[in-house]
Structures are given as structure tokens and as C-alpha cells.
Amino acid sequence: MARRRVFVLLIGNKERGEVNHFQLLQEETAASEGQRLGIDVEVAFAPGFDQLRLLKKRRLDSALEPLDAVLTEPANTSTMDLVLRELRGKVGLVILSAWGPSVEAAAPEWGAGLPLGTVGTDHVRVGEIQGRQVKAFLPSAERS
């Protein structure tokens, strides 16, 4: 059986030093987990305005092995919608840190056997934790 090939597209421009430690950690983790699982992982960075162009270029490059899935962190929901339209019925897709109604709308027509999903943060829970932290550090109000 051929090895699976996943394209990880992250926000940033590595050549120009326009990535942060979190983005570099994402790259490192994707590569190491791919190796651990026996999956060929390609990681690329693109600024938000160039994500779709880079994704199309990679997907349509006949000199490279075809992709089984794309994992991407779109710059915004508009980019996410463009990626959804571009990949529907062609490869699996996992979207990082983004969601919109268009994801659910795309699911029924995504393609048999092709994964589609999102991975995000529970922002309500994070807010609750931050609220408790702030409350713990504030001086208690004096009561009269």
C-alpha cells in the first residue's frame, strides 16, 4: 500500500522570518508525527493572501505525488471558504483554528471516504479559566 501524503499549509512566510515559535512548533510536530505514523508530510507556509494559490500549485503539480489530505490554518473565513470549494470531492481536509457554517454545508457533498473536519479551541472554556485567574489576582472589594 502506498504511503499517505498530507500537505500542511500554515500561515506565515518562513523565508522572510515571518513566523513565530508556535508556527514553528506546528511545523516540527507535523513532521515528527507524520514520521511516527508512516505518513509523508509536506509543510509549507504562505501569507494569508497567497494560501489558495500555493495550495492549488501544490495540488496540481503533476511532478509530485498526489495528496490524500490537506491540513490548513486559513488566514480567515473567506480563505477557508475558498479552500473548501477548491478541495471538495478531491482530497481530505482538516481545518485548524477556524470554523464557519460553510464547513457543515460542504460536508454532505465532500466525497465518499474523504475526511473533513476542524480542530479548534474551546474559547468559552478558555475565557472561564482566564476570568478565574483575573479574579484570583484582584484585591477583594471591601464591604461596608
pLDDT reported for residue 12: 87
What's the chain's length in residues?
A: 144
- Structure confidence at residue 121 (pLDDT): 82
Could you tell me what percentage of the chain is helix, strand and coil, using 3-state DSSP and rounding each to the nearest 5?
45, 20, 35
**Interval 16-75: pLDDT, tens:** 888 888 889 999 999 999 999 999 999 999 998 999 999 999 999 999 999 999 999 998
Q: Would you state the pLDDT for residue 91?
A: 96
CATH architecture of 5-137: 3-Layer(aba) Sandwich (3.40)
Q: Where are the domains of the chain?
A: 5-137
Instruction: Name which of 53, 50, 44 is nearest 10 in CA terms.
Output: 44
* pTM reported for the whole predicted model: 0.81
Q: Do 34 and 6 form a contact (C-beta atoms < 8 A)?
A: yes
CA distances from 102 to 54, 77, 78, 80, 139 (A): 22, 9, 10, 9, 45
Mean pLDDT of 101-108: 93
